Amino acid sequence: MKFFIDTADLTEIRDLAATGMVDGVTTNPTLVAKAGRDFIEALKEICALVPGPVSAEVTALDTAGMLREAEKLRAVAKNIAIKVPMTWDGLKACRTLANDGVMVNVTLCFSANQALLAAKAGAAFVSPFVGRLDDISQEGMELIADIRDIFDNYPALETEILVASVRHPAHVLEAARIGADVCTIPPNVLRQLIRHPLTDAGIAAFLADWEKSGQKI
Ligand code: G3P
151-155: average pLDDT: 97
Taking Cα atoms as reference points, which of 203, 182, 207, 205 lies closest to residue 194?
Answer: 203
User: Which residues make beta-bridge pairs with 182?
Assistant: 2, 162
Res 174: pLDDT: 98
Res 47: pLDDT: 98
Res 99: pLDDT: 98
Q: Are 24 and 53 in contact (CB under 8 A)?
A: yes
Helix (H, G, I), strand (E, B) or coil at 117: helix
Atom of ligand 1 nearest to the CA of 132: 9
**Percent of the residues in the chain that have a pLDDT greater than 90, as a whole number:** 100
Closest CA to ligand 1's atom 9: 165
The CATH number of residue 48's host domain is 3.20.20.70
Q: Give the Å distance between the CA of 198 and the centre of ligand 1.
A: 31
Res 8: pLDDT: 98
b/e burial code for range 133-152 (CB count within 10 A of at least 16 → b): bbeeeeebbebbbbbbebbe
| Residue 44: Cβ-neighbour burial (10 angstroms; 0-12, 13-18, 19+) | middle
Q: Which of 34, 83, 92, 216 is catalytic?
A: 83
Res 46: pLDDT: 98
176-197: average pLDDT: 98
Res 193: pLDDT: 98
Overall pTM surpassing 0.75 (yes/no) = yes
Res 132: pLDDT: 98
The best mutation among 28, 82, 106 to test binding of ligand 1, ranked by most ligand atoms within 8 Å of the C-beta, falls on: 28
147-164: average pLDDT: 97
> Is 83 known to be catalytic?
yes
Taking Cα atoms as reference points, which of 2, 72, 57, 67 lies closest to residue 27?
Answer: 57
Model confidence band, residue 73 (pLDDT cutoffs 50, 70, 90): very high
Res 33: pLDDT: 97
Number of domains in the chain: 1
Res 197: pLDDT: 98
- The amino acid occupying position 151 is F
Atom of ligand 1 nearest to the CA of 184: 1
CA 161/CA 135 separation, integer angstroms: 20
Residue 185: give the domain boundaries: 2-213
The best mutation among 3, 4, 6 to test binding of ligand 1, ranked by most ligand atoms within 8 Å of the C-beta, falls on: 6
**Percent of the residues in the chain that have a pLDDT greater than 70, as a whole number:** 100
What would the pLDDT profile of 88-121 be if each residue is shown by its tens digit?
Answer: 999 999 999 999 999 999 999 999 999 999 999 9
35-48: average pLDDT: 97
